[in-house]
Amino acid sequence: MQVRTTPRALDADTRLVVVVGRSLAGNRNDCKAWEESGAKAAVGKTLTVADGGYPGTGLVIPHRRQPGQAELPAWKEEHNKSHKQVRARVERVFARMKTWKVLRDCRFRGDGVHHAMLGIARMHNLALAG
């Protein structure tokens, strides 16, 4: 079974799915998948928060200690704390989307995973919008 990665972007305030990128083979680096999937182009210049796997992409990622640095300055620690709170909201939405049986038993070929993710994202947004 081939693992696939699908970059997604959400609005952290409303928890609505904003972008679902094209699915790519799972052996892609997160940074490369972000660009190749079309998610980067769809987001444009919007301020976007990501996990630490996206250095050099222009996304907002947590601060890390430099080699030899004992601890981060207080302002960076505070920034990392707020970053974690936003990421927690986003990760809960991702977890909820992954509970759909169509993704757990996913054996789609070609763009099947992408179309399944688009459908799940739309249903998720409809459920939140009421």
pTM for this entry: 0.75
Q: Can you tell me the mean pLDDT for 71-78? A: 94
More confident residue, 71 or 26: 71
pLDDT at residue number 1: 41
Question: Does the CA dihedral 80-50-29-17 come out positive or negative?
Answer: positive
Average pLDDT, the chain: 84
Tokens, residue 52: 């630490």
pLDDT at residue number 3: 52
Q: What percent of the chain has pLDDT over 70?
A: 88
pLDDT at residue number 111: 73
Residue 57 identity: T
pLDDT in tens, 27-42: 778 888 888 888 889 8
Rg (CA), the chain: 16
pLDDT of 105 over the 70 cut: no
